Every structure is written in C-alpha cells, then in structure tokens.
Amino acid sequence: MSIDKMKEHWPVITLIFVITLVLLLTLVRYQIEENEYAVIKRFGKVVDTAKPGPGWQLPFVTDVWRHDNRIHVFSGNKGEMEEVFTKDRRNIVVSVFLTWKIDEEGIVLFMNNVGTEELAEEKLTALLSDVRGATFGQYVFKDLINTSKDALKLSQIEADMLKPIKANAKAIGIDVQKIGIAHLGFPITVTQKVFERMNAEREAESKDIISQGEAKAQEIIADANRVRDQKLSNARKEAEAIKAEGDTDAAESYDVFKKNPSLAIFLMRLQLAEEAFKKRDTVIMDTRTPPFNLFTEEYLNQLEKKKK
C-alpha cells in the first residue's frame, strides 16, 4: 500500500484502533461503585472481594460478581395479608414487612446461596412464614388489640420475630435489620363477632367502674354519717351538761326565791317588761296589769315603805 493511500485511510485506521482499544479496556478493566459489593472469581473460584473503585481482570479467566449493597424494603409474601391464630385461638390477618441488605461479612455466602434479589425475597418469605405463625401463637388477642396503649405488645412481637429470622438469614449472607407489623385485621366472617365481643367487654368494664364508683360513694356517705352522728352525740352531751349546770343554778335561785317571794315576783315582772320593750314598738298598756304596774306611783311608794 502506497504512502498516499495510507494517508487517505488514516482516519479509518485510527478509528478502528480506538474502538479496539476501548473494547480491550472494557474486557480487562472493571469499576465497582460505592453502592455495590463485589466478588472476584478466577476460573469460577472465589479469590477475593473487591472494594469500590477500578480494577483489572483477564478476559475469560477472571469474573466479577456484583450486587447492590443498599437496604431493601420487602413486604413479606408480596405484601399479602395472611391469617394466623393467637394463643387464645382468635384468628386474625396480618401483614409483615422487613428491611434487609447483603451481610458485609457474608458476601460470598450470599453469592453462593442466593445470588439475586428475587431469590433472596423468596427465601425471606419462607423464613417469615415459619416465624410469623409461631410468634403470634404465643400472644393472646388483647396483646394485639387493646384500648390501653400500655397493654399492647406489638413491639415485643416484632422483636420476637426478628431474632430467629436474623440468625437464619445470616447463614445465607442476608442481614435482616428490622421487622415491622404493617397491618392487623380480622377475617370478614369474624369481624362482627369481634366488635360484639369488644362492646361486651367495654360494657362489662363500664359496669365495673360504675359499681366501684357507687361503692366509693356509699363509703363516703357512711363516713359522713359517722362524723355527723359523732358531732350530734358530742353536741347532745354538751347540751346536757349545760342543762345540768343551768338546773343547778336554777335550783340555787329557787332557794333564794323561797326566802324572798316578793323579790322573785318583782324580778319575773321586770324580766317580762324587758322582753316586752325589746322591740321598738308603741305599746298602749293598762298600769294595773302586771308587769306594767311596776311603773305606777303606788307600787313605787310601797317599795319606799318597805325600805324604811
């Protein structure tokens, strides 16, 4: 080929060379992303795990297996509701989800036992199916649905499911990080019965509260009556003591009055007059009628004579 012809085809030759070089680089060079785990295999055997960044490989000799290392959210059994039984034989329907990723220390285990995300979710579904029914079967209905927040044990149920699944999944290179209850419900056939039972329980609880309130009210009334009776008893005793004291004083006064009857009559009339004039009323009286005769001149003269 002449030099002129080579110059004429030089652009084509350059393009072919560049394409060949790019293809060759593609075959011998690989790039691991930050969100990937990778395993280096040579002649089908694992030789090492690869860190993020570029690397070199021999075509048809070295193979690079890679998988996303981010956290995946998986709704067990494709998000379907499944029926399970509680310890007290109540049937409910439940949906459970979990989050998982490849175990960083079990990359080779995952590659050999699982390999793909689809197969990983199939294995997780099987693990969930075994654990879910067994775990819910250890709790009674009131642990799942209750008007008291403190009586609910949903968090404990989630923890009980996570422990065995995490251990079994780790054996195949899967790191299960969280299990949660997405939904709780009832089969259509028992929903009405459940509501009726719950209403009956609430009514019984309401009656119990009312009964306790009535008992407390009776206790308060009884205490108040005891206090009242005690105060009345003390008041009667005090009144009797005062009356006895008054009777004693009266008896002494009677002895004095017996010695001087006219003084007694005078004092009684004076007391009657005092009572009559307590109210500021206009009184028209007959001075001949006791006790108003005390104010007559005749009566006053009699008193003067007695003094002499």
Token output for 68: 């996303």
- Does residue 132 fall inside a structural domain? yes
Same domain, 57 and 127: no
> Could you say which of 256, 271, 297 is where a domain stops?
256
Quick one: which H or E segment has residue 261? helix 261-276
Domain count along the chain: 4
- Give the domain CATH number at 151: 3.30.479.30
- Identity of the amino acid at 270: L
- Does residue 197 fall inside a structural domain? no
Paired residues of 174 in beta bridges: 102
- Does residue 53 fall inside a structural domain? yes
Of 158, 123, 124, nearest in space to 138 by CA: 158
> Could you say which of 48, 68, 88 is where a domain stops?
68
pLDDT value, residue 286: 63
Containing structural domain, residue 279: 260-307
DSSP 8-state symbol, 141 = G
Same domain, 94 and 173: yes
> Could you say which of 256, 272, 290 is where a domain stops?
256
Same domain, 118 and 209: no
Same domain, 149 and 174: yes
Paired residues of 29 in beta bridges: 56
**pLDDT tens track, the chain, 308 positions:** 555 555 666 676 676 766 766 666 566 566 676 777 777 777 767 666 767 666 656 666 666 767 777 888 888 665 467 888 888 888 888 888 999 998 888 888 888 888 888 888 888 988 888 888 889 889 988 888 887 888 888 899 999 999 999 999 999 999 999 998 888 887 766 666 666 777 787 788 888 888 888 888 888 888 888 888 888 888 888 888 887 777 676 666 666 666 666 666 666 766 766 666 666 666 666 666 665 665 566 665 665 565 55
pLDDT value, residue 2: 53
What pTM value is reported for the model?
0.52
- Does residue 194 fall inside a structural domain? no
